[in-house]
Amino acid sequence: MNRIDNLFHQKKNNILSIYFTAGHPTLLSTADILTELEASGTDMIEIGMPFSDPLADGPVIQDSSAKALKNGMTIKGLFDQLTNIRQKVKTPLLLMGYINPVLQFGVEAFCKKCREVGVDGIILPDLPMDIYQESFKKYFEENDLRFIFLITPQTSDERILMIDSISNGFIYMVSSSSTTGAKGSIVSTQVAYFERVKALKLKNPLVIGFGISNRETFNRASSYANGAIIGSAFVKMLNETTDWKKGISDFVKQIN
For residue 223, what is the domain's CATH number?
3.20.20.70
Q: What confidence score (pLDDT) does residue 221 get? A: 92
In a domain, 6, yes or no: no
d(CA 23, CA 73): 5
Give residue 182's pLDDT. 43
Position 98 in a domain: yes
Q: Which domain holds residue 30?
A: 13-255
Nearest to 213 by CA among 228, 223, 198: 228
Q: Which residues are known catalytic residues?
A: 46, 57
Distances (CA, A) of 11 to 43, 162, 219: 9, 25, 15
Is residue 214, in this structure, part of any structural domain at all?
yes
Partners of residue 146 on adjacent β-strands: 121
**Continuous segment of H or E residues that includes residue 233:** helix 232-240
Q: How many domains does the chain have?
A: 1
Question: What is the structure's pLDDT at 55?
Answer: 67
> What's the chain's length in residues?
256
Question: What number of other Cβ atoms are within 10 A of residue 157's Cβ?
Answer: 11
In a domain, 59, yes or no: yes
Q: Is residue 8 part of a domain?
A: no
The pTM (predicted TM-score) of the whole model is 0.94
pLDDT at 179: 45
The per-residue pLDDT string of the chain (256 residues; one tens digit each, 9 = 90 and over) reads 899 999 999 999 999 999 999 999 999 999 999 999 999 999 999 999 998 876 666 788 889 999 999 999 999 999 999 999 999 999 999 999 999 999 999 999 999 999 999 999 999 999 999 999 999 999 999 999 999 999 999 999 999 999 999 999 999 999 876 544 444 556 677 888 999 999 999 999 999 998 899 999 999 999 999 999 999 999 999 999 888 889 999 999 999 8
Assigned domain for 4 exists: no
User: What span, in angstroms and rounded, lies between the C-alpha atoms of 186 and 51?
Assistant: 29
Please state whether beta strands 171-174 and 15-21 pair in parallel, antiparallel, or not at all (unpaired): unpaired
- Whether residue 51 lies inside any domain: the answer is yes
Is residue 117 in some structural domain?
A: yes
H or E stretch including 114? helix 107-117
SS3 content of the chain, % helix, strand, coil (to 5): 50, 15, 40
